[in-house]
Chains A and B, each alone.
Chain A
Amino acid sequence: MADVTLTIDGQPVTVPAGTTLLKAAAQLGTAIPTICYHEHCTANGLCRMCVVEVEGQRLLQPACLVPAAEGLRVQTRSERVARSRRTIGEMLAASVDLSQAPELQAQLADYGADPERFPEAERRARPVIDDNPMYVRDYAKCILCWRCVQVCAEDAQYTFALSFDGRGYNTQIGTFFEKPLPETACVFCGQCVGVCPTNALKPKREWLLEQGQTPDEIMAQTRSGRRRKRG
C-alpha cells in the first residue's frame, strides 16, 4: 500500500496507508494509553481511552481504530484529550474494582484521575464464579474490554464458549444460559485468562493462594478431586 504522511503532535511521520494512529504514534515513540486494545485481538474501539484529537473532526477519535491518512493533524494529549481520559478512568474506577489492574492504575495516576469522583452509581458487585478447576471469573473486576470473548471466538480459538448477558450498565460476560463452564464448549485453553487486563479472570491456583490456602492444601484438593473422579 502507498505511504501517507501525517503530523502527530507537530511531528511529521510517514507510514503505510491503513496503519492506525496508535501505531503511527508508536513509530514516533509517542505512547497513547489503551485499555481494550490488544495486539492480537480485533480492535473494537470501545474503552475510548485512546481517543485523540484529529483536526477538523468534532468528536475525539479512537487511535486504535482510525487509520492514518495523508495530511492528518493529530494531537495525542490536548487539554480535551487529557480531560476525557481522566474522566473515562474515573468512571471505570467508579463502576468496577480496579485494584488488580496495575496498568490501568498507572494510567489513572498519569492523568491525575480521582477514583472517588463519581460516587453516585453503585459499583458492579457480583459474586466470584468458581465453577471449574482451572480458573475463576470475578466479574466485579470486569471492564468489558471484550478481549476474552474475542479470543474465544474468531480471534483465536473458534470455541464460542463465552458471550454476553444483559446490556447497558448490566452487561456481563457469560456463558449461554449461564451454564457452568464445564458444561459449555470451553476447552480450558486459557487464552481468555491470558488477555484479561484486570485479573477478573484468574488461574484457580493463584486465586486459592490469595484466599490464604497453602500450596499443599491446594495440591491435596486436586488429588482428592482426581480420586473422586476415578472412584
Chain B
Amino acid sequence: MNPADLTAITHREQEARGRHRCRVLCCSSTACLASGGGAAKDGLTRAVKLHGLEKNVQIVNTGCMGLCSLGPMMRLEAQGEPDTLYQRMTADSAHQVVDEQLVPYFQPGHTPTEAESEVGAHDFPHLRASLSQVRLGRGLDEHLLPQDMPFFTRQKKIVLARAGLIDPERIEDYIAHGGYTALAKALTQLTPEQVCAEIQASGLRGRGGAGYPTGLKWNHVRKADGPRKFVIANGDEGDPGAYMDRTLMEADPHSILEGMIIAGYAVGAQHGYLYVRGEYPVAVKRLEKAIRSAYRQGLLGDDIFGTAFSFEVDIRIGAGAFVCGEETALMASVEGQRGTPRMRPPYPAQNGLWNAPTLINNVETYGNITAILNEGAAWFAGIGTEKSKGTKIFALTGKLNHTGLIEVPMGITLREIVFEIGGGIPGGRQFKAAQTGGPSGGCIPAEHLDTPVDYESLKALGSIMGSGGLVVMDDASSMPDVAKFFMEFCVDESCGKCVPCRVGTVQMHRLLEKVTAGQGQAADLQKLENLCRLVQRTSLCGLGQSAPNPVLSTLRYFRHEYDALVANGR
C-alpha cells in the first residue's frame, strides 16, 4: 500500500455509493442491538427486498448515533434530500419507511407542487416523490427525530465524527472518510520528533481520567532507552454507567488503531496491545476485524507505506476487574500475572510492559490523534479552554429527558449539558447534582452549574473530569446513598493488595450503611471523614487514593443530609 492507494480506494467507495441512490444506516452498537436493532434492520431488509429495491437502497451497519435511550436508531440518506433520523425503530416501522417513503421516492419524475403536498401524501402515492415533503401516516411521524434538537446541534464531534456514519467493519468505508491519511502523512512527511511536537502543541491531554499531557508522555517514551518499546491502548472502561470507550471501539475501531500506529512510530515501538474488557464482545469483534483488515491492506505489519516502520497489534481481553484499568495492573494482566497495581515511579514510560518503556493511553486519547495530524495542532488548540483542549465524550445518564452519548467542546458548562443537550429533568423535578468521574469522582451541586467543564475547574470543585461518566440526579436522590453506592463498588473492586484500601473501603462502606440506615452518630461521621483522609493519602494506587472522593464531595456540598440522618436516626 502506498498513499495513492488510499485515494483509489476512496474513489471506488464513492462510485459504489453513487450507484445506490439511498442509504439506510442502522445503528448496531450494543445499546441499539439490545433494544431490538437487529429485528428492525431485518424488517428493513425484508421490505427492501419485497419492493425489489436492493439495487437502489444500501443498508449499512454503523456504530452509535448518540441518542441511545431512543434506540434503535436509523438514519436515511437519500440523494438530493436532507438526512432523516429515526428513533425507536421496529420491524414494522422500518417496513413503513420503505412503503411510505422509499417506494414513492423511487417513482421517477414527481416533484409535488405546494398545493399537492398540502393534501396529504398518503392519499396520493405519486405525490410523495420528495421525502422532505412527505406527510407521514399511521404514526410513522412518531419515529422521526428532528435533527435540529439541541442534543445534536450543541455537540462538537471530533473523535466521534465518523461514528454512526460509517460501517465499522469495513476498512474501505473508513478510508473513504479520510482514514489512514494521517498515518500516511506521519510516516512519509514527519519525523517521530515532529509527530510528538505536533501532539504536544495541540494541548491534547489524556482522556482516561487524569488528564496528563499526551505529547509530553509520548516524548518521555520516545526518549527512553530500550531495544524494544510497547504501545498500549486502554479500553478497559470499568466506571459504572460509562460506555464512551465501548461506543468508540464499536463505532470507529480504525481511528483507534490508526492513532496507535502513529503513536508507535512517534515513540519508536514495534508492538501494540489493545486491552479491552471481556464484557465488550461487539467491540472485541470489530477491533479484531479492524486489525485483520489493516494487516491485509498493509497498514499493519512490515514496512508500512513502504517505509522502514513496522508495527504489530494484538488484543488482550480483560476479565472485568475495574482495577485492571489502572496502568500498572493492566500491564501485569497483559503479562499474564494477577492484575494488581504496583508502586509508581517507575512510570510505564521508563519501565512498563516486560520492563520495556511503554506508552499507555486511553482509547479516546488515540481517537484524537488523526484529527490533530490532519487538521493541525493549531486548529485543535483553538477548541476548548486555556488548559483543556478539544472535546470530551460523556456518557450522559440519570434523571434527564435525553440520555446517550455526547461529545462536547471543553469549556461547555454543565448547565448547557444538562438543560440543553440533556433536555432538562423529567417529571417536573429539580436538578440536584451531577456526578462525574464515577467512583473516583464527585458530585457537583446546582450552584456550580455554570462551571465550565475542564480538568482544572472540575478538580477545584472536588470532582474530576474522569473518563466521561456523567450521571444527573434530581431532588429525589439521597446523596449519602449515592456515596454508599460508589463505596460499595470500590469494596467490590479493590484488588486487596494494600491495607488502607482493602480494609478502609470496607470500613467506610459499613459506616455509610450505618448512617444511611439512620443508626449513625456524629462520631461515626467524624470517623468516616478520618478514614477518607487516611485512605486517600496512604493507598498504593489511584483506586484507593480516590475511593473516598464521592464521600468527601457529598460531605462538602450535602453535609446537611448526613447530619439529618444522624440527628433523626436516633
* B488 smallest CB distance to A (angstroms): 11
**Which of B491, B497, B505, B539 has the most chain A CB within a 10 Å cutoff?**
B497
- The number of chain A residues with a CB under 8 A from chain B is 36
Residues of A participating in the B interface, judged by any CB pair closer than 8 Å: 44-49, 51, 58-60, 62, 65, 80, 83-84, 87-88, 91-92, 94-95, 117-118, 120-121, 143-144, 146, 163-164, 166-171
Q: Given A48-B539, A59-B537, A87-B530, verify A171-B507 contact (CB < 8 Å).
A: no
Q: Is B538 interfacial (CB-CB < 8 Å)?
A: yes
The answer to whether A169 and B538 touch across the interface, beta carbons within 8 angstroms, is no
* B497 smallest CB distance to A (angstroms): 5
In Å, the complex CA distance between A143 and B497 comes to 10
Q: Is B498 interfacial (CB-CB < 8 Å)?
A: yes
Main SS of chain A's interface residues?
A: loop
In Å, the complex CA distance between A144 and B539 comes to 15
Near A by CB (< 8 A), chain B positions 528-551 give 530-531, 534, 536-540, 545
Task: Tell me the nearest residue of chain B to A85, going by C-beta.
Answer: B538
Q: Is B503 interfacial (CB-CB < 8 Å)?
A: yes
Query: Which A residues are in CB contact (< 8 Å) with B173?
Result: none
The answer to whether A88 and B494 touch across the interface, beta carbons within 8 angstroms, is no
In Å, the complex CA distance between A88 and B495 comes to 17
The answer to whether A51 and B538 touch across the interface, beta carbons within 8 angstroms, is yes
**Which of A91, A94, A166 has the most chain B CB within a 10 Å cutoff?**
A91
* B178 smallest CB distance to A (angstroms): 43
Question: Looking at the complex, which one of B343, B492, B496, B499 makes contact with A88 (CB distance below 8 Å)?
Answer: B499
The answer to whether B506 and A46 touch across the interface, beta carbons within 8 angstroms, is no
* B134 smallest CB distance to A (angstroms): 58
Query: 27 A–B contact pairs at CB < 8 A?
Result: A44-B342, A45-B498, A46-B499, A48-B538, A51-B538, A59-B536, A83-B534, A84-B537, A87-B531, A88-B500, A88-B534, A88-B538, A92-B499, A94-B503, A94-B507, A95-B503, A121-B503, A121-B506, A144-B499, A164-B338, A167-B496, A168-B494, A168-B495, A168-B496, A168-B502, A171-B495, A171-B502
Q: Is B135 interfacial (CB-CB < 8 Å)?
A: no
Query: Which A residues are in CB contact (< 8 Å) with B500?
Result: 48, 88, 91
Query: Which A residues are in CB contact (< 8 Å) with B510?
Result: 120-121
In Å, the complex CA distance between A51 and B537 comes to 10
The answer to whether B511 and A120 touch across the interface, beta carbons within 8 angstroms, is yes
Question: Looking at the complex, which one of B495, B527, B537 makes contact with A60 (CB distance below 8 Å)?
Answer: B537
* B284 smallest CB distance to A (angstroms): 23
In Å, the complex CA distance between A80 and B500 comes to 15
In Å, the complex CA distance between A164 and B502 comes to 14
* B338 smallest CB distance to A (angstroms): 6
Q: Given A45-B540, A48-B498, verify A169-B506 contact (CB < 8 Å).
A: yes
Near A by CB (< 8 A), chain B positions 326-353 give 338, 342-343
In Å, the complex CA distance between A143 and B499 comes to 8
Query: Which B residues are in CB contact (< 8 Å) with A143?
Result: 499
* A185 smallest CB distance to B (angstroms): 18
Q: Is B504 interfacial (CB-CB < 8 Å)?
A: yes
The answer to whether B507 and A60 touch across the interface, beta carbons within 8 angstroms, is no
Query: Which A residues are in CB contact (< 8 Å) with B342?
Result: 44
Task: Tell me the nearest residue of chain B to A86, going by C-beta.
Answer: B534
Task: Tell me the nearest residue of chain B to A164, going by C-beta.
Answer: B338
Q: Given A59-B537, A120-B510, A121-B510, verify A166-B496 contact (CB < 8 Å).
A: yes
Task: Tell me the nearest residue of chain B to A117, going by C-beta.
Answer: B527
